[in-house]
Amino acid sequence: MTMRLQRYLALCGIASRRKCEEHITRGRVIVNGVTVVQLGTCVTPEKDKVLVDGREIFPPKRFVYYALNKPAGYVVTLSDSHGTPTVMALLQDIRERVFPVGRLDMDTEGLLLLTNDGELANRLMHPRYHLEKEYLITVRRELNEHNLNWLRKGIELEGKVTQPAQIRLIKKSREYICYRMVIHEGRKRQIREMFKATGHPVLTLKRIAIGSVHLGTLTTGRYRPLTHAEVGLLRKAAGLVSEKGGKGIENKEEREGYERRGISGVRNK
């Protein structure tokens, strides 16, 4: 089967399809001994030899899916030339080469998905599929009804109006106000910029759900495999009906036991 080179790279777990396109245009990909920089190039996986940074790549033998409770202070990249710790440092016990699905700012914490299933990752990041993402946001002062309706209907950021959002107040104290917000996009620093536009800078931001996957009781800095049910629902949301095998925990009790035992081997931060 012939496919576009960037799709094949993503299927091999190199990175998201968009990032793979950058690898190609920067001359990091070689096909059958020739450096390729054209995005329209197609390959036949069964016949062509593909190298990235001098290393031959192959599709994964199996797909794996993980949920990580990202601490603040980590960047969501595979590597960082400035010495900032990346989320990959929290995944040292994972044998497969996985990459993050989407982004979280360095100062934002909470749920991050990681996988080597490039096709699913690419679809989950595409705005076409309107995957829900749920956040907890704390600010100093309570928003008035005008600002709440503004956030719900959409705010213009960099010349483009945000999609309608759901927001409700869940806690009030003297020190802060906490809101729960659901959006369907993943634009850079979107929630922070939306609240900033209302005159209420964000104090803390935490993602607690992505589609059918919830952060739950997962400790900060630890990760767990997704259940087969979670993977199936994500694939359904992304328009991928057929289920692929993955590394999963079948039920809630088993998953909670996994977390209690700290099988991930990652220290809490």
For residue 45, CA distances in Å to 24, 39, 72, 142, 230 come to 17, 16, 39, 55, 29
Residue 72 Cα distances to 50, 108, 175, 221, 265, angstroms: 36, 5, 20, 9, 19
Answer yes or no: are the C-beta atoms of 124 and 102 closer than 8 Å: yes
Active site residues: 105
Cα–Cα distance, 24 to 2 (Å, whole number): 17
246 closest CA partner among 227, 262, 265: 227
Nearest to 100 by CA among 129, 80, 130, 83: 80
Nearest Cα to 156, choosing from 119, 113, 190, 121?
A: 190
**Which residue in the block uniquely carries the two structure tokens 């054209």?**
38
